[in-house]
Amino acid sequence: MGVCLVRRIRRQIREAVENYGKKTGEALIKNLAADKIKSIAAAAESGDWRGAAPVHLWNPPFCGDIDIEIRRDGSWWHEGRPIRRKGMAELFASVLLFNEGEYFLVTPFEKVRIRVEDCPFLLTTLRVENAGDASTQTLYLRTSLGEEVAIGAEHPLFIGADSSGNAEPHPTVNVRAGLLGLVSRSVFYQLAELVVNRADTAVESAVESAVESAVESTVDCAADSAAGKIGEHSTHSLGIWSSGVFFALA
């Protein structure tokens, strides 16, 4: 697996030059720096992880800022230009870390800081299992990069206020380790179609209590201070069920 990923990184570097042009492609490689590319490759080659890397286990030195930004629509940009290769964005997302309100790309050997406009992920697809059955219904959301999570204790849904100051809701889901996914408008409308009155549904109280207790201990998502506190969903009557937990939408 590691060798294949190393080859993919090398291929993506060549494609960056082809897609962006020689000058911009070389600038991309220069600013990422050869040692950073080698570090990511080395981490992939020496590790057994698939998908998201175990960045929480690594404590490398901080090596400064890099001109990479994740925009509100989930797209990755470098020096004002979009990173058009989805595979490159997926690779960077796999070593993404949120820590004390800031975002970093991390390998076992170094850590560089990047910018995030809103949330690092955009949730663009909804999949429903056992629709209509409050005790077993599970809602799966997929990011624009293909990572799927099930709304529930480990991946709670928050409805906060938009930081831009408009009246629109700002729904987010904890994708992993404090990295939030912004629920796209189309998916939020689909979730709204699943809204029920909590008083009209029933779930085994023991199951609900156990799961909501787990929600209370879920990682604090400081990246979205307007999102509200975990567990507040239980005090409202209109919302959705997923993985045995009730989340308020109103």
CATH (residue range 121-248): 2.30.270.10
Where residue 107 falls among pLDDT bands split at 50, 70, 90?
Answer: confident
The predicted structure's pLDDT at residue 242: 95
- Give the model's pLDDT for residue 225: 35
Q: What's the pLDDT at 97?
A: 96
Q: Which of 48-57, 196-205, 221-230 has the highest mean pLDDT?
A: 48-57
Task: Using CA atoms of 83, 76, 96, 63 in order, give the dihedral in degrees to the nearest 10.
Answer: 70
Residues 125-165: pLDDT tens digits?
Answer: 999 999 888 889 999 999 999 999 999 999 999 998 877 66
Residue 29 has pLDDT above 60, yes or no: no
Secondary structure (H, E, C), 182-201: EECHHHHHHHHCCCEEHHHC
Q: pLDDT by residue (tens digit) across 32-88? A: 444 554 455 455 444 555 578 889 888 999 989 999 999 999 999 988 999 988 888
Backbone angles phi, psi at 122, to 5 degrees: -120, 125
pTM of the complete model: 0.70
Could you tell me the CA-to-CA distances from 118 to 41, 48, 78, 121 in Å, in that order?
28, 31, 16, 9
Among residues 186, 205, 180, 192, which one has the least CA distance to residue 248?
192
pLDDT of 141: 98
pLDDT in tens, 111-128: 999 999 999 999 999 999
Q: How many C-beta atoms surround the C-beta of residue 48 within 10 A?
A: 7
Q: Give kind and range of the element (H or E) at residue 158.
A: strand 157-161
pLDDT of 22 > 70? The answer is: no
Radius of gyration of the chain (CA): 20
**Total Cβ atoms within 10 A of residue 237:** 12
Return the structure tokens found at 181.
């996914």
Residue whose C-alpha is closest to residue 95's, from 143, 57, 149, 140: 57
- 160, 119 Cβ separation under 8 angstroms: no
CA-to-CA distance for 214 and 157, rounded, in angstroms?
A: 14
- pLDDT for the residue numbered 158: 94
Domain segments of the chain: what residues?
A: 2-116, 121-248
Alpha-carbon distance of 203 to 241, in angstroms, equals 10
What pLDDT is stored for residue 134 in this prediction? 80
pLDDT band of residue 224 (cuts 50, 70, 90) is very low
What CATH fold (topology level) applies to the domain 2-116?
Answer: duf1285 like fold (3.10.540)
* Percent share of the chain, pLDDT over 70: 63
Quote the pLDDT of residue 108. 85
Q: Do domains 2-116 and 121-248 have the same CATH topology?
A: no
Q: Tokens 């008083």, residue?
A: 199
